[in-house]
């Protein structure tokens, strides 16, 4: 099987995979969540890079010629180094794509006021990736970033619908709003956040456009495959989906449907043993 690999620190990438399979159901997919080491958001550049590289090598070992890092933190902290330093020696004909570039290519189209708010993990915010990439495509747009360090742990622990969650959702959204009253578009720049989409929307001023990445990344992948027939023809097309987690598969299966929209049966992977 030459599947498309989809990676996240945990469950969040399933919100992206869900949209990708909606648009491109014919391909085979292997999903890996590094739940045992999630969240990545507060970890150092070096650690996120090492963990992500281990995952990419694992995908290549499974026969995946194309890997999507469906994780903003990994895209911000590891993607470029993997593309530039590791891929040429590891597997020069394979490709690793992220979620930040496809998002920044289009997000400027949604704002009238030219002020966009970014809600993300601390790691994604401190990397400044959204500010730097957005500047390339929409130099007239001002990007306001807000780190939301507690949201991923709250979501990963199944606490998203509690009073405590509501407090921290309001707290970070209020901090973003305090940065500028001109923000008319807010991007969920973490693949976990679609699970609290409605609660975030409720804290934003009426009429604010709230964007999730799933459909944006799915559209961009379809476009990539159209433009790269040499990659497209390597991908197997039997509609298979496989799921793996570095933590307990039973836990993964119980939580995954919330993110993916249907039940999954995951296998276990130990990435620390798969190091080359």
CB 19 within 8 A of CB 219: no
* Sites of contact with ligand DGL (CB under 6 A): 8-10, 12, 38-41, 71-73, 121, 124, 152, 190-192
Minimum distance of ligand DGL from residue 125's CB (angstroms): 10
With respect to ligand DGL, which residue has the nearer C-beta, 183 or 190? 190
| Shortest distance in whole angstroms from residue 199 CB to ligand DGL | 17
Length of the chain, please?
276
Which of 64, 71, 148, 233 is the catalytic position?
A: 71
Nearest to 2 by CA among 229, 219, 232: 232
The reply to whether 64 belongs to the active site is no
C-alpha 211/C-alpha 97 separation (Å) is: 20
Minimum CB distance to ligand DGL, residue 188 (Å): 9
- Nearest CB to ligand DGL, comparing residues 154 and 183: 154
Half-sphere exposure of 110 (CA within 13 A, CB side): 21
Q: What is the DSSP letter of 141?
A: P
Q: Is 225 exposed, middle or buried (0-12, 13-18, 19+ CB in 10 A)?
A: middle
Could you please report the per-residue DSSP string of 151-186?
HHHHHHTT-TTSHHHHHHHHHHHHHHHHH-TT--EE
Which one, 12 or 65, has the nearer CB to ligand DGL?
12
Closest separation between CB of residue 70 and ligand DGL, Å? 7
The residue among 39 and 65 lying less far from ligand DGL, judged by its C-beta, is 39
The CA distance from 153 to 275, in Å, is 27
- Give the chain's radius of gyration (CA, Å): 18
Q: Is 73 or 185 the residue whose CB approaches ligand DGL more closely?
A: 73
Min CB(118)–ligand DGL separation in Å: 11
Active site annotation includes 148: no
Catalytic residue among 64, 148, 190, 233: 190
Q: Which residues are catalytic?
A: 71, 190
């Amino acid at each position: 099987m030459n599947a498309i690999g989809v990676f996240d620190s945990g469950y969040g990438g399933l919100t992206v995979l869900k949209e990708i399979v909606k648009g491109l159901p014919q391909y085979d997919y292997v999903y890996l969540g590094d739940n045992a080491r999630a969240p990545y958001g507060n970890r150092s550049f070096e650690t996120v890079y090492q963990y992500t590289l281990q995952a990419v090598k694992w995908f290549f070992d499974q026969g995946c010629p194309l890997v999507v890092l469906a994780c903003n933190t990994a895209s911000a902290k590891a993607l470029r180094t993997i593309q530039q330093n590791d891929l040429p020696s590891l597997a020069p004909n394979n490709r690793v794509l992220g979620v930040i570039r496809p998002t920044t290519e289009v997000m400027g189209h949604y704002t009238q006021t030219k002020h966009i708010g970014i809600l993300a993990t601390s790691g994604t915010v401190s990397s400044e990736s959204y500010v730097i990439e957005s500047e390339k495509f929409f130099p007239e747009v001002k990007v306001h970033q807000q780190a939301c360090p507690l949201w991923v742990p709250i979501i990963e622990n199944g606490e998203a619908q509690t009073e405590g969650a509501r407090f921290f959702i309001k707290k970070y959204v209020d901090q973003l709003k305090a940065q500028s009253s001109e923000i008319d578009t807010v991007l969920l720049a973490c693949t976990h956040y679609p699970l609290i989409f409605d609660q975030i929307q409720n804290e934003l001023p009426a009429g604010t456009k709230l964007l999730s990445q799933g459909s944006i990344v799915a559209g961009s992948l379809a476009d990539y495959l159209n433009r790269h027939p040499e990659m497209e023809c390597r991908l197997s097309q039997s509609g298979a989906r496989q799921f793996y987690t570095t933590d307990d598969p039973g836990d993964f299966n119980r939580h995954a449907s919330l993110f993916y929209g249907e039940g999954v049966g995951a296998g276990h992977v130990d990435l620390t043993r798969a190091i080359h």
